[in-house]
Structure formats: C-alpha cells, structure tokens
C-alpha cells in the first residue's frame, strides 16, 4: 500500500514530520517498507534556460549550449540531444550531481575539445520515465532557477507500507489516517458524504440474478448513470498522486475509480453507458463464457465466478477486472458508475483461478467496508461531476448492507491478563473510540461495538491487540517466566537424543553433514522404492524436485557426484533426516545415511607418502554403520549382518543389518551399477542407511549402576587356526561357531587372513582366525589348551563344513 504525504494530509490534520509519521506507522503495526522522497533525490536539478545552442565544431551530433540556471551566469554545456535549441526551458544538473538514469556522477569534462560544466537532462536521466528522445522541454513560463522536483510536483514523498492481510481498512489512505490519529499524530478529518441528488431514476435496469444459495456473493449492488460527461485527462493533482503510487493515469473516469480505491478503499467500476446493451445483471458466469479484460487478457470464466452482464454478454468480472468492450474512453459521454459488495472468499477464489491481481481484488478479498457502498458511489459521483461535468441520475440499489457490527463483552482486565500491562481504563477507552469502536458501560466490563470497516476484530483478544498496539508494545515490560522445577530435567526424547548423537558420531568419522532437499526427481524416487502417487507434489518448484524422498541415499549420491564434477572426487557426506513411505505421519521415518566416494575412507583420502588411500568399499560403509549403532548405544546382541539388500544395492556387495528377518534396520554396500548409471554417478561410491526409529532402545533399568567388572588374574593366550571352507560360506559363521565353542574361555575371535589360490582347492577359501582364550580360574595346561582347540575345530567344522588347512 502506497500513498503520498500530501494525500495523507487530506485526511489527517497533523504537524508531525515525515520521520515521525513513518516511525509511528511501524510502531502501530503498519510497517513502513520504504519512503521515496524524489525532492531529496532530485535536489540539485533546477529549471534552466538554454541561452544559445550552436553546432559543436568537432562533432556532428553534439551542440555547445550556454545555460542560465537562475543566477544569470551563462554556463557552457555540451549536449547531445537533438532537441536542444536556444530559448528552450529545460532541466540542468551542475557538476557533482548524481544522475540516477545513468548511474554516474557528473564532473567538469571536456568533450571533443570543448569544456562542459554540467548537463541538460531528459526525464529518463532523472529516472522519471523513458523519454530518450531528448532533454526535457518545459513550458516557457517555467520558473528558471527553481528546483525541478518542486516545479514538477515531485516533492510529495511516497510512503509504502507492508500491509498485513487483516487490515482491509488500511488499504485506504483514510484508514491509515484514522490509525495515525488514534496514535496521537493529529486529528482525523471527517467529511460526511451526503447523498447525491439525482435527476430522475437510473434508466438502466439492474437485476441481481443469484439464487438464494448464492445471494451472499453479492449482498449489495448500486448503480448510477451520469449523462453528458467530458472524459478528458484527470486533473494534474490526481494524476500526480496516481503516478506517485505507481499507477498510470488513463482518463478522468478511470482515474477517479482508481483514486477512490486508494483514497477510501472503495473499488468502483465505470461502464460506458453507450456500450451497454439493455440492462445490467449480476449473475454467475456460464460455462464457456469469456471476457477480454481491461488488462488486455482474455479470461475464460467458470460457473462459480460472478459477473456483470448485459445483452451482449459478460461485461465485467465482479470485483476483479472490467471488460474492454464496455470500458470508458475519451469518447464516453454517459457513464454508469458501479459500487458493489462482493463475497471475499469468492473473489479470492476467482482471482486465484484467473491469475489476476488487481487493486480491486486485493481489497474485496480482504473485505471492503460494507457501509462504504453508497457513500462511495456518492463520493465518486461528486468527483465525476467536478471533473467531467454531467448530470446524475438517482442510484439504483439492489440488496442490503449485511449486518457486520459485533458487540464484544470486554472485561478491561483482559489487557492485563493477556498483555501483562496495567493501563488506565480511560486511556484504553480513548484508544478504542478513536479507532471507531463504540464503547458502552462504565464498570469493569464494557460493551464494545466494532465498526463496519474492521471485519478482523472478532473478540476480546482482538481488542487487546488494538489497545496495546496503539498504546505501544514497547510499554510492556519483560517479566521473567520462571522455570518449572529446580534442576533441569532432560528435554530430549530417546530418539531426539539419538539424532543428535548420530550427527556427531558420523561427523567424528570424517563425514560432512549435508542437508539435501526433501523432494527429489520422480525417477530417483522410483529407483529407491518410492514415487508413489501419494508422495508426488502437485506443484513442484522444479520438475526435478517433484517427489518426497523414500531414502536419503539418492540426494547424497548426487551431491557427492556434484562435488566430484567440481574437482572434489573424495567427498564423504552424511545426512540425518526424514524419509517418506506414505503421506501419513507413520509413513515418515527418521534416517541416517552416508556416502563415501572415491578414496574417502575413514583414515583419509587420496595419495599420501605413507601409502595411498584405497578406493572405498562396502566395508567402509559397514564400519560407519556399526560405529553409528555403537555410538547410539544400540544393544547389538541380536544384531545380524546378512548378505544382500534392497534392489538399489549391488546384490553381491551389500548387506542388511537386522534384528531378525522382520526387523531390518538398515543397509550398506555399493550401489547397484544400474542405479549408479541412472543417477549419472561415475567412480566408486559406497553408502549406508539406517532407520533410527527402528533401532531397539536399551531396556530401561531401575539403576544406573554398571554390572560388576571381573578382571581375571591370568594371562590371556591366543591360538591361530586356518580353516578351509567353501568360498560362499560367510566368514561370520566361522567366527560365530568359534565364539560359541567354549563360551567360558573364548573371549574373542579375529579374522586375520582370507586366501584363495594355490594350495587351496578350487571353489574353496582359507579363513585364518586368531582365537583369544581368557582363563578365569587358573592357568591352562597344555592339555587343556589342546582340548579347547579341538573343540573349536570341531564346532567350526560342524557348523560350516570347514576343515583345518593342512
């Protein structure tokens, strides 16, 4: 919402400065977004007379002029404008002036050998238009030496406020003035708008053809004919104000409606009566109808849109945009002025469907003051009569203004209760009254009647807001909100705690945390088991951000590739975030995932004097996943690592982490080559992904005491075994068998060598393990050690079919 200072002062009698006004507006909730003060920006530019203009001796297109800028001293200026001539009045800028249209600051220069002390300017150079043809050519009576901004009426600062959608009353300069007056910045000028006396009834028949179900789409419609108007340009003052707020003056009748829209928040429409066939009717659009609007666009209408139609068809889209066919132009002599009330939701919906944003729509969808319908018509009629002449008919009115006033039972203590500030009752009453509320009652409770222009005020809390925003939020003093209880209790749920630990644990493994989009390309989503219809965005911001992600992996993998493309091949990235299996809250899972690309292993990446880092493999991903589980304190007693995973992983180089077949918690490994290709990935990349919500929590115990620590006094000892087994037997089974062979003594099993080749039969492999024995009661004898060894060999052999390597 924009307005000028002089415009505001039409409604507000004030001595406040522009700064005070701006500061107050922001303080009371009408946030000032900007102030444009052309008078300040254009201060150095003065009206000047060109005394002489002669051909430049060294340049065909240049002229050497002398200029009188008001002090009678001729100044020499080189000018390139074709229209520069002796005797003309133009605008002069001295050296040192900033030229906004050219973004330069002038200095004394020499142009083709002739000194130039300043510049004669075009409107474009002043940032005031796009007349690049030549310098400004002002009327002969323009006062030489006067600042141009003053002469041109540009000395009226323009204020723009960022209006919140709850304040339709402040879409009008008059409404803004009311708020400022309430805030103590002056007196609101109120002018009653007596009805216009028409000469005879409006000859154009009016019908509202809406059935009972749709009657509320147009509760009130008023129309008046003014005959014999001259529709020339509107007066300069009106044009200047409209231009100042960014509107293009068109002709007097149209300008008057635009002026009323901003001055009173009362959008109107004018039809050229000569172009209206028969009477006007308000009705719903019919399927297939369309309208060429005043905005130059063809609008296809649908059946829930309200239109104003005549014998020729639709002439205007209610409350949004008028039609080109019945618009007013210089030839208009009889004008129909429409002032109506429309349903805000219907207007919003129509505007959205048509994709039309107009000043009328903006106001109607927020709620135009119903009480302004008839006075608005009268005010507009008066402006038409003043500016264009003519004679008015009576107004024809259909419908009634709806009941909008509300009475709110308001205990004054409500201000203290909600705002925490004690204000004198008299002050609160004055605030409400100056905003147009009617306050009745003298006791603890008041009956507050809301004004017709404040549809946003519905209850007590709204009145508290009115009081405190005008009184000043800064008057409320901060009061501590004591913490309940004494020592702070933990505030995180176990999953929240795990989320935090997961991030730091993974970062501690050299991975960098990424935050990637929750939406990914449809094809990517499908590759990772997603892409379901319930997770596709109806209006994605870009076609490649279309589907809610089923997994963190595709986003991370693509991010790693982007880094590689930028020259950073060894990216190690992780993310902890939401994934989506359905649009229900239960379909959302919190996951942790990581990718390692190139040689970005745990120990480091790339070549190094101490040995180059190898290409990452599935075991790097497995190590990350297991480290994560360990750091999260997941009880891993029942954890199984089984070969294979979902279809997006390499079938032979991936694994699944599970607590039983029905309780899979994550996967790790290389991507399936087909998936890698589909994601445009080059180079090797390994991943893991774990569903944090699926991980078992430690059993809650009544004590924090740790189990007793037993430290045996006897030396542990280690025995090595090399088993030969089928190459497909998982080494994990050998380890598990060895661990289970003699639970009292076997304290650990490490696989220290895997070998296939000479000396091992075809199709078999050798797995060498070191078994650590920890005696607990006494040192073992050689015979006992031998017996345990036999047991281990027997157990491994029984479980895996392995034999000791000869």
Partner 1 sequence: MRLLDIAQTRKRLRIKRTSTTNGTMASTDLDTLERDLLAQVEAASDEAALEAVRVAALGKKGSVSDLLKTLGAMTPDERKTRGPQINGLRDRVQGALGARREALAEAALEARLSAERVDVTLPVREAPDTRGRIHPISQVIDEITAIFADMGFAVAEGPDIETDELNFTALNFPPGHPAREMHDTFFLAPDRDGKRKVLRTHTSPVQIRTMRAQQPPIRVIIPGRTYRHDSDQTHTPMFHQVEGLVIDRTANIANLKWVLEEFTRAFFEVDAVKMRFRPSFFPFTEPSAEVDIQCSRKGGEIRFGEGTDWLEILGCGMVHPNVLRNCGLDPDEYQGFAFGVGIDRIAMLKYGMPDLRPFFEADVRWLDHYGFRPLDVPSLVAGLSG
Q: Within positions 605 to 624, which residues make up the interface with partner 1, using CB under 8 A?
A: 608-610
Buried b / exposed e across 210-229, counting CB within 10 Å, b at 16+? beeebeebbbbbbbbbbbeb
The footprint of partner 1 on residues 385-424 (CB under 8 A) is 417-421
Q: CB of residue 23 vs partner 1: minimum separation in angstroms?
A: 11
512 interacts with partner 1 by CB under 8 A: yes
Is 509 or 591 the residue whose CB approaches partner 1 more closely? Answer: 509
Is 171 or 656 the residue whose CB approaches partner 1 more closely? Answer: 171
Helix H segments across 90-235? 148-151, 173-182
Q: Which region, judged by CB under 8 A, interacts with partner 1, from 124-132, 307-315, 530-538, 710-718?
A: 530-538
Separation of alpha carbons 649 and 646, rounded Å? 6
Are the beta carbons of 516 and 544 closer than 8 angstroms?
A: no
- Residues 25-64: x where in contact with partner 1 by CB under 8 A, - otherwise, as a string: -xxxx-x---------------------------------
| Six-digit token string for 67 | 């200029």
Q: CB of residue 611 vs partner 1: minimum separation in angstroms?
A: 10
Are the beta carbons of 449 and 438 closer than 8 angstroms?
A: yes
Separation of alpha carbons 70 and 49, rounded Å? 8
The footprint of partner 1 on residues 356-375 (CB under 8 A) is 365-366
Cα–Cα distances (Å) from 236 to 198, 251, 331, 342, 749, in that order, read: 28, 12, 20, 32, 96
**Which residue do the tokens 């007097």 mark?**
252
Are the beta carbons of 434 and 182 closer than 8 angstroms?
A: yes
The footprint of partner 1 on residues 655-694 (CB under 8 A) is none
The footprint of partner 1 on residues 692-721 (CB under 8 A) is none
Separation of alpha carbons 187 and 441, rounded Å? 25
Q: CB of residue 577 vs partner 1: minimum separation in angstroms?
A: 8
Is 690 or 734 the residue whose CB approaches partner 1 more closely? Answer: 690
Q: Which region, judged by CB under 8 A, interacts with partner 1, from 106-114, 514-522, 709-717, 790-798?
A: 514-522
485 interacts with partner 1 by CB under 8 A: yes
538 interacts with partner 1 by CB under 8 A: yes
The footprint of partner 1 on residues 568-607 (CB under 8 A) is 568, 571-573, 576-578, 580, 583-585, 587-588, 602-604
Q: Which positions ≥6 away from 760 have C-beta within 8 Å?
A: 724, 766, 805
Are the beta carbons of 466 and 418 closer than 8 angstroms?
A: no
Q: CB of residue 603 vs partner 1: minimum separation in angstroms?
A: 6
493 interacts with partner 1 by CB under 8 A: yes
Specify the DSSP class assigned to residue 186. Answer: S
Are the beta carbons of 624 and 688 closer than 8 angstroms?
A: yes
Strands 269-272 and 717-726: unpaired
Is 72 or 480 the residue whose CB approaches partner 1 more closely? Answer: 480
Give the three-class secondary structure for 119: strand
| Six-digit token string for 497 | 């705690």
How many residues make up the chain in this entry? Answer: 806
514 interacts with partner 1 by CB under 8 A: yes
Q: CB of residue 102 vs partner 1: minimum separation in angstroms?
A: 26
**Which residue do the tokens 């542990």 mark?**
716
Per CB under 8 A, the list member of 534, 750, 753, 786 interacting with partner 1 is: 534
Separation of alpha carbons 429 and 183, rounded Å? 13
477 interacts with partner 1 by CB under 8 A: yes
Per CB under 8 A, the list member of 1, 22, 368, 548 interacting with partner 1 is: 548
- Residues 421-460: x where in contact with partner 1 by CB under 8 A, - otherwise, as a string: x-------------------------------------xx
Are the beta carbons of 436 and 242 closer than 8 angstroms?
A: no
Buried b / exposed e across 273-305, counting CB within 10 Å, b at 16+? bebbeebbbbbbbeeebebebbeeeebebeeeb
Per CB under 8 A, the list member of 72, 73, 197, 566 interacting with partner 1 is: 566
Q: CB of residue 622 vs partner 1: minimum separation in angstroms?
A: 16
Q: CB of residue 344 vs partner 1: minimum separation in angstroms?
A: 8
Q: CB of residue 414 vs partner 1: minimum separation in angstroms?
A: 10
518 interacts with partner 1 by CB under 8 A: yes
Specify the DSSP class assigned to residue 435. Answer: T
Max CA distance (Å), the chain: 129
By rule CB under 8 A, what count of residues binds partner 1?
98
Per CB under 8 A, the list member of 191, 481, 709, 806 interacting with partner 1 is: 481
């Amino acid at each position: 919402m924009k307005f000028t200072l002089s415009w505001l002062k039409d409604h507000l009698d004030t001595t406040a400065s522009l700064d005070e006004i701006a500061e107050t507006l922001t303080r009371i909730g009408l946030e000032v977004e900007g102030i444009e003060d052309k008078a300040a920006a254009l201060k150095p530019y003065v009206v000047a007379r060109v005394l002489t203009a002669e051909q430049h001796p060294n340049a065909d297109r240049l002229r050497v002029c002398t200029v009188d800028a008001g002090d009678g001293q001729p100044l020499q200026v080189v000018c390139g404008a074709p229209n520069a001539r002796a005797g003309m009045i133009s605008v002069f800028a001295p050296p040192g002036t900033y030229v906004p249209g050219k973004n330069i600051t002038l200095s004394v220069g020499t142009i083709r050998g002739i000194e130039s002390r300043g510049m004669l300017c075009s409107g474009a150079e002043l940032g005031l238009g796009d007349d690049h043809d030549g310098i400004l050519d002002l009327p002969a009576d323009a006062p030489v030496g006067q600042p141009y901004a003053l002469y041109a009426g540009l000395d009226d600062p323009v204020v723009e406020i960022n209006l919140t959608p709850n304040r339709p009353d402040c879409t009008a300069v008059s409404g803004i003035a009311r708020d400022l007056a309430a805030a103590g910045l002056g007196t609101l000028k109120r002018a009653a708008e007596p009805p216009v006396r028409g000469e005879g009834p409006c000859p154009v028949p009016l019908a509202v053809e809406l059935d009972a179900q749709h009657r509320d789409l147009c509760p009130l419609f008023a129309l008046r004919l003014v005959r014999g108007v001259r529709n020339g340009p509107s007066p300069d003052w009106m044009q200047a104000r409209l231009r100042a707020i960014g509107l293009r003056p068109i002709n007097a009748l149209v300008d008057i409606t635009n002026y009323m829209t901003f001055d009173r928040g009362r959008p109107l429409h004018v039809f050229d009566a000569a172009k209206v066939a028969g009477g006007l009717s308000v009705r719903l659009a019919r399927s297939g109808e369309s309208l060429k609007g005043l905005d130059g666009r063809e609008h296809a209408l649908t059946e829930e849109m309200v239109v104003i139609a005549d014998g020729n068809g639709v002439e205007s889209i209610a409350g949004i945009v008028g039609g080109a066919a019945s618009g007013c132009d210089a030839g208009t002599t009889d004008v129909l002025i429409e002032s109506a009330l429309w349903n805000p939701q219907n207007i919003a919906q129509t505007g959205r469907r048509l994709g039309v944003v107009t000043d009328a729509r903006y106001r109607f969808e927020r709620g135009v003051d119903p009480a302004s319908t008839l006075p608005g018509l009268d005010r507009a009629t008066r402006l038409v009569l003043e500016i264009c002449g003519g004679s008015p008919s009576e107004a024809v009115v259909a419908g009634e203004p709806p009941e909008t006033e509300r009475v709110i039972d308001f205990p004054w203590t409500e201000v203290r209760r909600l705002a925490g500030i004690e204000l004198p009752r008299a002050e609160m009453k004055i605030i409400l009254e100056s905003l147009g509320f009617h306050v009745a009652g003298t006791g603890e409770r008041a009956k507050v009647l809301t004004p017709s222009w404040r549809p946003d005020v519905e209850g007590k809390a709204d009145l508290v807001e009115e009081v405190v925003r005008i009184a000043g939020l800064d008057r409320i003093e901060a009061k501590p909100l004591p913490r309940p209880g004494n020592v702070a209790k933990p505030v995180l749920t176990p999953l929240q705690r795990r989320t935090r630990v997961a991030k730091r644990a993974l970062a501690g493994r050299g991975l960098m945390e990424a935050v990637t989009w929750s939406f990914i390309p449809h094809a990517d989503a499908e590759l990772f088991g997603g892409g379901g219809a319930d997770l596709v965005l109806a209006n994605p911001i870009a076609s490649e951000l279309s589907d809610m992600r089923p997994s963190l992996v595709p986003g991370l993998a693509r991010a790693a590739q982007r880094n590689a493309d930028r020259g950073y091949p060894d990216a190690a990235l992780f993310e902890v975030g939401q994934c989506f299996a359905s649009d229900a809250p239960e379909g959302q899972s919190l996951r942790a995932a990581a990718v390692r690309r190139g040689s970005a292993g745990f120990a480091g990446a790339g070549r190094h004097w101490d040995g180059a880092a190898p290409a990452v493999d599935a075991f790097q991903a497995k190590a990350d996943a297991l480290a994560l589980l360990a750091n999260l304190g997941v009880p891993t007693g029942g954890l199984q690592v089984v070969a294979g995973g979902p279809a997006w992983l390499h079938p032979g180089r991936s694994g699944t982490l599970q607590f039983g077949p029905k309780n899979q918690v994550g996967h790790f490994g290389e991507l399936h080559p087909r998936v890698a290709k589909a994601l445009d990935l080059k180079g090797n990349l390994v991943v893991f992904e774990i569903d944090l919500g699926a991980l078992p929590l430690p059993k809650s115990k009544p004590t924090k005491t740790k189990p007793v620590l037993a430290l045996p006094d006897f030396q542990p000892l280690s025995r090595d075994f090399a088993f030969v087994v089928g190459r497909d037997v998982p080494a994990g089974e050998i380890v598990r068998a060895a661990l289970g062979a003699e639970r009292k003594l076997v304290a650990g099993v490490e696989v220290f060598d895997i070998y296939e080749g000479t000396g091992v039969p075809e199709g078999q492999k050798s797995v060498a393990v070191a078994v650590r024995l920890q005696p607990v009661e006494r040192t073992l004898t050689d015979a006992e050690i031998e017996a345990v060894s036999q047991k281990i060999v027997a157990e491994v052999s029984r479980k895996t079919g392995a034999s000791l390597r000869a």
